[in-house]
Amino acid sequence: MKFYLCEIVHSKGAVNIAIPVNEVLGIGNKLFKAPEELGIFGFALHEGYLYPIVTHRGIENPIFKYFLILKEYGFGITRVLQEIEAVPTPLSPSTPTQRDKHFEKLTEYTGAIDYEGNIYYVYNLYYVTLPRNATVAKHEATERIEALEKTELSNQCVIINESFAVELQKVKTILPADLLTPFKTTEADGFIDYMKTIPVKELDKGKFVVILENVGFRTSKLELSTGKILTHQSTNEKYLETRIGTYKLLSD
């Protein structure tokens, strides 16, 4: 079986872990910081989708440079040291994980790999946690790449509700829908406070509100996409044309 041998540096040292390669969809280094109101650290970008960032449980101020993209989330790590083929030594089936609170931490691992004299514990991906105080380390090459990407934001959009699109540069933030005050009018379905009172239109009863300059859109279906921005000749309405569909651009 193949594993990624990884290191997570944190305020009290470092942990060496192994993650099964077949659990990993990809590796990314693009972070979208989440608003404080969401109560999560941020999202990792991979192939047009955002994955909530999680990491090893019980460590303080981890340093992230990369994110292993798993099925439901991005796992924050400092570096991938090696990809190897290995047979882990499993934990004893009689390990008393339920008898003493100190033993409970053993359930975070399913076994260990001894590679070139270093021990890497196979992490049980059920025991991930949402980091609150992580540091994202950037190297010079990454910053140059991000500077180039900023010139392309005019055609990078957020697809909302699988029907509409908003230019990414116009998105101020994304807030949880429980901050919404319901108040039905002809123009809006409620209001939300973000530096000012902003009317919100409900596209579905989702848990997020995408905030633009003067309006918000409530939905649970969000993804990133790039494409060509087209203008309708007769109506002057704008659309985002992508490989998988065409979406009307929402404005503020």
pLDDT at residue 231, as a whole number: 81
Q: Is 55 helix (H, G, I), strand (E, B) or coil?
A: strand
pLDDT at residue 205, as a whole number: 83
pLDDT at residue 155, as a whole number: 66
Q: Is 232 helix (H, G, I), strand (E, B) or coil?
A: coil
Tokens found for residue 26: 């990809």
Among candidate residues 244, 251, 249, the one with its CA nearest the CA of residue 229 = 249
pLDDT at residue 243, as a whole number: 67
| CA 239/CA 79 separation, integer angstroms | 40
Alpha helices in the chain (DSSP H): 140-149
Burial of 191 (0-12, 13-18, 19+ CB in 10 A): middle
pLDDT at residue 21, as a whole number: 92
Contact 80, 4 (CB under 8 A): yes
pLDDT at residue 148, as a whole number: 30
Run means of pLDDT, 10 residues per run, the chain, 252 residues = 91 91 87 75 86 90 90 90 89 66 71 90 88 70 36 64 86 88 86 90 88 90 81 79 79 73
Among candidate residues 98, 17, 102, 91, the one with its CA nearest the CA of residue 56 = 17
| CA 60/CA 131 separation, integer angstroms | 8
Q: Long-range contacts for 149-158 (Cβ within 8 Å, ≥24 apart)?
A: 152/226, 154/229, 155/226, 155/227, 155/228, 155/229, 155/240, 156/224, 156/225, 156/226, 157/224, 157/225, 157/226, 157/227, 157/240, 157/247, 157/249, 158/210, 158/222, 158/223, 158/224
Query: With the C-alpha atoms ordered 183, 188, 194, 197, is the resulting torsion angle positive or negative?
Result: negative
Antiparallel, parallel or unpaired: β 197-202 and 216-219: parallel
